[in-house]
Amino acid sequence: MDRRFRKKMEGYLARRERIALNTFAKLDITSWFDFWHEHPDFDLKANRAKKMVATLTYSLLKEMERLVSERTEPIQVWATLCENTGDNAIFVHSPNPNGTSFPYSFEGVEWGVEVPPEAVGLLDQAHEIGKAKYQDEAVYYIRHQA
């Protein structure tokens, strides 16, 4: 990645981080969530900067985990890393009045898989990674280990 593109992506992802953190701050963490999510690369600009987007996605996952850590009601928080970085997301899910099943079972996700190149060296010991295949795309899931 050339220096100019890296600089452009750093600025873009810093703006996206501020937007996500501002959005997180406005959430009522005591409320219910039905697969609520935030996309770090919402404008679909960073496919050539997958490592940078994965780093931001993981950072936002840990921030959301921190925000919900004192919640007394059950809740799930996880992130996805996708081939198209615009699909990366941080998810929050809880029992909800919409009838969506809780907890989310991660059906079709194989846990303990090889870490994708953009996430090598990124995860700490508290998190695990899984992989699912949707059509022809690999989707990686990151969640706090149970």
| Stretch 87-105: mean pLDDT | 96
Instruction: Enumerate helices (H) and strands (E) in the chain, giving the number of each.
Output: 2, 6
How far apart, in Å, are the Cα atoms of 70 and each of 30, 64, 73, 74? 10, 11, 9, 11
| Stretch 69-84: mean pLDDT | 96
The token pair at 5 is 């593109």
With bands split at pLDDT 50, 70 and 90, how would you rate the model's confidence at 41?
Answer: very high
Checking if the pLDDT of 94 tops 90, the result is yes
List beta partners, residue 93. Answer: 76
Checking if the pLDDT of 47 tops 90, the result is no
Strands (DSSP E) contained in 10-123 are: 36-38, 76-82, 89-93, 110-111
DSSP for 46-58 reads: -GGGHHHHHHHHH
pTM: 0.95
For position 81, what pLDDT does the model report?
97
Residue 106 and residue 130 in contact, taking contact as beta carbons nearer than 8 Å = yes
How far apart, in Å, are the Cα atoms of 20 and each of 98, 99, 117, 122? 25, 27, 24, 20
| Stretch 41-51: mean pLDDT | 88
Strands (DSSP E) contained in the chain are: 36-38, 76-82, 89-93, 110-111, 127-134, 137-144
List beta partners, residue 23. Answer: none
For position 48, what pLDDT does the model report?
87
